[in-house]
Amino acid sequence: MKNQILISILVSLISIAATVSSSIAKSDRQSQNGTFQGTLIYPSDYLPAQKVCAKNVKTKKLFCVETKQQQTDFSLSVKAGTYEIFARECIKSYEKDLVCRDGYLPRRAYYNEHAKCGITAECAKKFKHNRRILVPIRSGQTIANIKPHDWYSN
């Protein structure tokens, strides 16, 4: 009888240890991500639903987040690396739906020198080539003020 109780206690302890280990591993994986935060604009009197993506320049892997119509900010979780960041507009459902239901147009608004400067005439003169900004990010880091605003850079 004592052996059965001891075995039962041992099995319970092993189960608890496995659960704790799994939770720690999950927490470690999440803390390996960095976060880009920023704002969205659109050259019109409305702000359509958009898809904001960060493309890892080394692996070409995309990390994306979808926004709703009239949503002016975003937060995007990515793995550590160096990224170019862009937004794409919803095809047409913005006319009647809060979220995009029919996909995104291929045109991209990049986070580039012109967007970082402020999308003004002075910025256009200063940054004629509209080079995309490559943004390095580390695990656990948050980088704010990302602006994929340049809808005219394509």
> What are the tens digits of pLDDT across the range 52-91?
999 999 999 999 999 999 999 999 999 999 999 999 999 8
Report the pLDDT value the prediction gives residue 152, as an integer from 0 to 100: 85
Q: How many CB atoms lie within 10 A of CB 82?
A: 14
Q: Select from 51, 48, 50, 52 the least CA-distant residue to 96.
A: 48
Report the pLDDT value the prediction gives residue 35, as an integer from 0 to 100: 98
How far, in Å, CA of 96 to CA of 73, rounded? 21
Whether the per-residue pLDDT at 20 is higher than 90: the answer is: no
E strand or H helix at 30: helix 2-31
Whether the per-residue pLDDT at 111 is higher than 60: the answer is: yes
More confident residue, 127 or 48: 48
* Model pTM score: 0.76
E strand or H helix at 71: none
Q: How far is CA 122 from the centre of its chain?
A: 29
How far, in Å, CA of 115 to CA of 107, rounded? 16
Whether the per-residue pLDDT at 132 is higher than 50: the answer is: yes
Whether the per-residue pLDDT at 19 is higher than 80: the answer is: no
Report the pLDDT value the prediction gives residue 75, as an integer from 0 to 100: 98
